[in-house]
Amino acid sequence: MSEDGRVSNWTAPAAAAPVDATVTLPGSKSITNRALIIASLASGPSTIVGALRSRDTDLMIDALTTLGIEITAADDDRTTLRVTPAPLHGGSVDCGLAGTVMRFVPPLAALADGDVSFDGDEQARIRPLDTILDALRAVGAEIAGSALPFTMRGTGSLRGGSVEIDASGSSQFVSGLMLSAAAFDEGIAVHHVGKPVPSMPHIDMTVEMLRRAGVRVDTPETGGDANTWRVYPGPITPTEWIIEPDLSNATPFLAAAAVTRGRVRVPNWPQSTTQPGDVIREILALMGARVDLTAGILTVEGPDTLRGIDFDLHDVGELTPTVAALAALAEGPSILRGIAHLRGHETDRLAALTTEIVRLGGRAVETDDGIRIDPAPLRSGTWRAYADHRMATAGAIVGLRVPGVEVDDIGTTAKTLPGFEKLWDAMLSTSITSEVGS
């Protein structure tokens, strides 16, 4: 759905020629929403430069503002934000379909003086949440409910302490607990038990950003305890956050080069990063593309023959829809593994991807922990997005090579990349520099 609530059908443009474009991406959702939480609990005002403005980040801004934080955008630039902390009070939070809002805000809301009610989109109500709410209860919070909608009965402080959780369903349980924990009386020690935690780079991102703001954090690597992350109580330093471009959102554009024998350049690609999107370089190279990162510009050139891939995406599950679209257009079989937890993303992504690939004549089957995709000619038809921004962009990739693919709800890309269609059209309109703005 688009921001104004309309469902918008969109015929994905087929590439008449190899794409040749430079695409500048807006800021990272994950870094922006972490910066907003950390800045809200800091000991003074912080600045965020290059913030993503999208449904997920605007929901985060609204949530924090509702609880008392002052967040203002620069007059001439919506992506520059000033965040001024204030005592937190009760309110009502709309999580939309944003995992980062529904998992990162409740720990902060436990510090509010008053009730904070949470709700979200219908699909958000079935996303896993009880793990983090149970953890908050175990460290002193009073909460009515165990999924959306629920109410946090804030008392102005939270004890904190040690808690054991099974975070195999989402890394966001660990990140959410850590992000606000410096403001808990005893900080927090999160001990994970269960199958491996997915999306570890996102936990690394949390740790790195907390440390940048002066928070003391122990990890399994630095603290000595396997599967335990510890955040010590203490002040959070006001910080100037410079947000990297969203590398996961870059992947459909890079895929466009890979499937059209074209060339796409993405400037401002970080030399080192905790964003999982960086792994697209390895994936595209394995599929046969030429990948080069020089002077901050990532260039991908598509191969004559796109190879299938056997890849464990457990750490970088966010990339699955893009990789599945690539695999559906590849010459050989692909196996995408390690991603059972994607059944709890915006939609059940394993079911959604296999259904949509098969609907267009492709060969895809769900496995216990992923998808197997075999080469088959695809035909025109409707590609359903299931209110999932990355399903929508996966349909756009397929449509580059299969004329007549209609994405039923391209507006859902506004979750993290408003203006996606404009940017996609600009990429296709030849070798030009295209930018999506605020």
Ligand X SMILES: C=C(OP(=O)(O)O)C(=O)O
Q: Could you give the residue numbers annotated as active site?
A: 318
From the CB of 15, what's the least distance to ligand S3P, in Å? 27
| CA–CA separation, 71 and 83 (whole Å) | 5
Query: At residue 212, what is the residue type?
Result: R
Say which entry of ligand X, ligand S3P, none residue 98 contacts (CB below 5 to 8 A, set by partner kind). ligand X
From the CB of 247, what's the least distance to ligand S3P, in Å? 12
Our finding on whether 317 is near ligand S3P (CB under 6 A) is yes
Contacts (CB under 6 A) with ligand S3P, residues 156-195: 170-172, 175
Say which entry of ligand S3P, ligand X, none residue 198 contacts (CB below 5 to 8 A, set by partner kind). ligand S3P
| CA–CA separation, 244 and 25 (whole Å) | 9
Build a one-symbol-per-residue string for 259-298: x at contacts with ligand X by CB under 6 A, - elsewhere. ----------------------------------------
DSSP 282-347: HHHHHTT-EEEEETTEEEEE--SS----EEE-GGGGGGHHHHHHHHHTSSS-EEEES-GGGGGSSS
Q: Is 170 annotated as a binding residue?
A: yes
Return the residue of 318, 348, 369, 409 that touches ligand X, per CB under 6 A. 318
From the CB of 66, what's the least distance to ligand X, in Å? 19
| CA–CA separation, 66 and 60 (whole Å) | 10
96 near 86, Cβ under 8 Å? Answer: no
Q: Is 208 annotated as a binding residue?
A: no
Q: Is 168 annotated as a binding residue?
A: no
Among the residues of 118-214, which ranges form H helices?
130-138, 172-179, 200-212
Smaller CB distance to ligand X: residue 192 or 390? 390
Contacts (CB under 6 A) with ligand X, residues 86-115: 98-100
Smaller CB distance to ligand X: residue 345 or 372? 345
| DSSP bridge partners of 298 | 266, 293
Our finding on whether 251 is near ligand X (CB under 6 A) is no
Build a one-symbol-per-residue string for 373-412: x at contacts with ligand X by CB under 6 A, - elsewhere. -----------------x----------------------
Dihedral Cα 321, 326, 329, 330, nearest 10 deg: -130
Smaller CB distance to ligand X: residue 318 or 356? 318
Q: Is 275 annotated as a binding residue?
A: no
Task: State both tokens at 367.
Answer: 């496995």
Total residues contacting ligand S3P (rule CB under 6 A)? Answer: 13
Local structure of 148: helix, strand or coil: coil
Task: State both tokens at 421.
Answer: 């269609």
| CA–CA separation, 122 and 1 (whole Å) | 13
Smaller CB distance to ligand X: residue 40 or 322? 322
Build a one-symbol-per-residue string for 72-101: x at contacts with ligand S3P by CB under 6 A, - elsewhere. ---------------------------xx-
Sign of the C-alpha dihedral computed for residues 137, 142, 144 and 149 taken in this order:
negative
| CA–CA separation, 268 and 294 (whole Å) | 10
Query: At residue 117, what is the residue type?
Result: S
Smaller CB distance to ligand S3P: residue 97 or 426? 97
| CA–CA separation, 115 and 156 (whole Å) | 10
Per CB under 6 A, residues contacting ligand S3P are 30, 99-100, 170-172, 175, 198-199, 202, 317-318, 341
